[in-house]
Structure 1
Amino acid sequence: MFKRKESLNFYHLLIQQVTVIRDAVAALCRYCEDPTQENGDFVKVKEKEADAIRRELVEDINRTFITPIDREDLFRLSSSADDLADYAWTTVKELRIYEIPPDEHLITMSNTLLQMADGLLLCVQNLEKDHAKVYQEATRVKKLENTLNVQFHKSMTELFAGDDFRRILKYREIYSHLNHASDKGDASADILLDIIVKL
């Protein structure tokens, strides 16, 4: 039993999880460019896959006595990053519910979110051995959060310049999902910066 615990590779599990999260965000970008049923369903597939890996990681944290990263930080990072995939699927789901197409603002914001996910993936890929790279990429992710925030406010300004209140209410909700996702990306970057200080 103790041998099994010691052989767990939490770095590998994190890389697996964030890879699938990144793929979920990439799938959202494809859906925004080409909103087919197949492209939308693929976002859900990736979100479910990310959830499954997260459950596995949490179970391993709970049954392992010693982890290479502080167990609370490991849990927080896994949870925060997972929210990117959750928001990707929520965006697709609500676009369908409201029966509205992705617009140029959603394309722009989803592409910025993908850059953030790419940066987080590079962070976890280098977390074990290259802390300078983690610092560099986490800092870039935080700057991208600011970029997406600017894009969000621009989209809201243009949205509220119109007078179609149903449209305003629908798109406001969708835009907010991507803005919240960027907040989670920023929080993930902060956790990664905390981790490399402790390692």
Structure 2
Amino acid sequence: MKVWLQKVRTRLSRFREAFRRKPNRFLLHLGEQAAIVVQGTEALVGYMMKPSKKNAARVRALEKNADEIRRILIDDLNRSFVTPIDREDLFTLSRAVDDVLDYAYSTTHEMDILGVVPNDHLRAMASLLHQSAEELHLAIERLEKHPKIASDHALRVKSIGNQMDRMYTEALAHLFDEPKDLKHVITMFKLREIYRHMFHAVGSTEQAADIVSDIVIKFY
């Protein structure tokens, strides 16, 4: 009797294994892309702490790596007749994730070209961006098997976005506070552009989080 039960259990186990849902390769690509964004924003934090060619080059290299993953995802989308999640949602989510590192690279590149030195506002913004990237990565990683948890992480991204709104406004207010001379005015306009890149980078994580939330509602 025990031997018979064991055989039945073995067959059931094999049956379940055969029909187990395969991992969504599109979400795997997106998870990989988001993981690189986490590394890239961490590199940006490092740049803000110690601006150097080496740290800037790391941000650039990771941005290129993320671009490659996005190209692979788009190629898979073009080759697929049917997708488990809406094709447009996958494409726009990947684009929003990609935008995060595009802004991070633009930040380091322009700071280097314009000779902008990191200040406390930029360091705080970079830290907030990194936190948002981590939450976005977790949202995408949990999307397939734990959609409710994915939604929770997406909401945290939105919360961080609200913090960034306040931080950006405060930084601008401080920037325009009593310009002393022409040199100060020039620095002011340079910093405003850099602040704007950081603000848009976090905004891109929010856009991606919104798409994750939409996917949960539509497909899970």
TM-score of the pair, normalised by structure 1: 0.95
Question: Which one of the candidate residues 109, 114, 136 is aligned to 2:152?
Answer: 136
In structure 2, what is the Cα distance between the partners aligned to 1:60 and 1:41?
29
**2:52: which partner in 1?**
36
Deviations 1:132-185 (A, max 9, x none): 111110001001001011111111011101411101100000000011111111
**1:193: which partner in 2?**
213
The one-letter code of the counterpart of 2:148 is A
Q: Which runs of 4+ in 1 moved over 3 A?
A: none
The one-letter code of the counterpart of 1:189 is A
Bigger Rg, structure 1 or 2: 2
Deviations 1:78-136 (A, max 9, x none): 00111000000000000011112111111000110111100010011111110111111
Partner of 1:128, secondary structure, is coil
The one-letter code of the counterpart of 2:114 is Y
In structure 1, what is the Cα distance between the partners aligned to 2:112 and 2:178?
22
Unpaired runs of 5+ residues, structure 1, are: 1-5
In structure 2, what is the Cα distance between the partners aligned to 1:33 and 1:108?
10
**1:183: which partner in 2?**
203
The one-letter code of the counterpart of 2:47 is Y
**1:24: which partner in 2?**
40
1:43-192 equivalence runs, <5 A: 43-163=59-179, 164-192=184-212
Unpaired runs of 5+ residues, structure 2, are: 1-21
- Judge conservation of contact 2:24–2:84 (CA < 8 Å) in 1: no
In structure 1, what is the Cα distance between the partners aligned to 2:172 and 2:94?
30
- Identity across the alignment (%): 38
Q: CA RMSD in A?
A: 1.2
Aligned residue pairs: how many? 194
**1:3: which partner in 2?**
none
In structure 2, what is the Cα distance between the partners aligned to 1:96 and 1:162?
26
